[in-house]
Amino acid sequence: MKRKMKAGNAVQLSLFDDNREKTDSQLIGELTNKADTVSDAWTGEYRLERLFNSLTPHRRRIAVAAVELYRRREVRRRDADAVRCSDDIYNLMRPLIGDLPNEEFWVLALSRSSKVISKQRISVGAIDQTCVDIRLIMRVLIETGAVQFVAVHNHPSGNICPSMEDKKITERMNNAAALFNIRILDHVIITNDGYYSFNDEGLI
């Protein structure tokens, strides 16, 4: 026997269905009511920062909160999956750090089956660098019982190439983890448009 849909549910479904049918330009137009922002959306040149800056303070708070909720939902959904390759790492971490204005360094503590046990931010830095405490990374891995891990940080500049310091940090992490019989699977540098994997490049 079919169940009747409650009025509240019907309104809610209608609201989301209506928005699913709209283009990026139409959605941004409703949010900002500004022609130049809609024009940028049409050409694919808009960024979230510009979109947020074009809003009134009240709308900006709502929009930022909505984006943050979406990011958290996506991250929680992907946390349940095993990390099998650099694409998995990028898809997991890009919503968190892909478009940040400053560098952040994160560690993914993994189980033997490559499931994410813990995802922790180690440090926050400037636009082009961040200090990394290897001892803190080891403490996180030991306390979570990780047998392997992935290091991840972003490059706000958009340049995915690793610096000499990135390479030195990777070597130091590898040497320190080996003392505790913990394996480093990868070190991934993330931008909003792509990534660099030390493992894929044969550097781990």
- Helix ranges restricted to H, 21-119: 24-32, 35-43, 48-53, 57-79, 86-97
pLDDT in tens, 117-165: 999 999 998 766 678 999 999 999 999 999 999 999 999 999 999 999 9
Whether 169 has a pLDDT exceeding 90, the answer reads yes
The C-alpha angle with vertex 192 and arms to 203 and 100, in degrees rounded to 5, equals 105
Calpha distance 28→40 (Å, rounded): 10
Least confident of 58-67, 91-100, 158-167: 58-67
In the chain the domains, ranked by start, together with CATH numbers, are 7-55 (no CATH), 83-197 (3.40.140.10)
Calpha distance 68→72 (Å, rounded): 6
Mean pLDDT for 92-117 is 92
Residue pair 87/200 in contact (Cβ under 8 Å)? The answer is no
Calpha distance 11→14 (Å, rounded): 5
pLDDT in tens, 75-87: 666 555 678 899 9
Task: Tell me the percentage of the chain whose pLDDT exceeds 70.
Answer: 64
Mean pLDDT for 55-83 is 69
Residue type, 3: R
Q: Which two tokens stand for residue 130?
A: 């961040």
